[in-house]
Amino acid sequence: MAALIRTAKDFRDACAEVRRDGRLALVPTMGFLHAGHQSLIRAANSQAPSVAVTIFVNPTQFGPNEDLARYPRDLEGDLKKCAEAGASFVFAPEDPKEIYPEGFQTYVEPGPLAGPLCGSRRPGHFRGVATVVAKLFALSRADVAFFGEKDFQQLAVIKRLAVDLDLGTQVIGRPTIREHDGLAMSSRNAYLSPEDRQRAVALSKAMAACRSAFADGEREIARLEALAASVLTESGLRVDYAELRRPGDLERPPEATGDTRVFLAAFLGKTRLIDNGPLEG
Q: How far is the CB of 222 from ligand AMP (least distance, A)?
A: 28
Q: Specify the DSSP class assigned to residue 151.
A: G
**271 contributes a contact to ligand AMP by CB under 6 A:** no
Question: For residue 52, which of 90, 8, 16 has the smallest C-alpha distance?
Answer: 90
Helix ranges restricted to H, the chain? 8-19, 35-47, 75-85, 118-121, 125-140, 152-164, 194-199, 202-215, 221-234
CA dist., res. 224 & res. 243, Å (int): 8
**98 contributes a contact to ligand AMP by CB under 6 A:** no
Enumerate residues 8-37 that contact ligand AMP by CB under 6 A. 29-30, 36-37
Q: Based on C-alpha coordinates, what's the Rg of the chain?
A: 19
Confirm whether 37 is a catalytic residue.
yes
Member of 153, 176, 204, 271 binding ligand AMP (CB under 6 A): 176
Member of 150, 205, 245, 261 binding ligand AMP (CB under 6 A): 150
Member of 185, 264, 268, 274 binding ligand AMP (CB under 6 A): 185
Q: How far is the CB of 146 from ligand AMP (least distance, A)?
A: 7
Member of 5, 26, 56, 151 binding ligand AMP (CB under 6 A): 151
Member of 45, 54, 186, 260 binding ligand AMP (CB under 6 A): 186
**204 contributes a contact to ligand AMP by CB under 6 A:** no
**42 contributes a contact to ligand AMP by CB under 6 A:** no
**In the complex with ligand AMP, which residue's Cβ is closer, 142 or 227?**
142
Enumerate residues 206-225 that contact ligand AMP by CB under 6 A. none
**In the complex with ligand AMP, which residue's Cβ is closer, 85 or 224?**
85
Distance of CA 90 to the CA centre of its chain: 18
Member of 15, 40, 130, 264 binding ligand AMP (CB under 6 A): 40
Name residues whose C-beta falls within 8 Å of residue 188's C-beta, 6 or more positions apart in sequence.
67, 72, 271, 272, 273
Asked whether the beta carbons of 281 and 211 are under 8 A apart, the reply is no
Asked whether the beta carbons of 177 and 185 are under 8 A apart, the reply is yes
Q: How far is CA 210 from CA 117, 207, 244, 275, in A?
A: 18, 5, 10, 13
**275 contributes a contact to ligand AMP by CB under 6 A:** no
**In the complex with ligand AMP, which residue's Cβ is closer, 151 or 243?**
151
As a 3-state breakdown, the chain gives helix, strand, coil percent values, each rounded to 5, of 45, 20, 40
Segment interacting with ligand AMP (CB under 6 A) among 110-118, 119-127, 145-153, 163-171:
145-153
- Beta-bridge partner residues of 90: 4, 53
Q: How far is the CB of 192 from ligand AMP (least distance, A)?
A: 15
Question: For residue 281, which of 220, 192, 215 has the smallest C-alpha distance?
Answer: 215
Member of 15, 38, 39, 98 binding ligand AMP (CB under 6 A): 39
Name the residues that contact ligand AMP, by CB under 6 A.
Answer: 29-30, 36-37, 39-40, 147-148, 150-151, 174, 176-177, 184-187
**Residues marked as catalytic:** 37
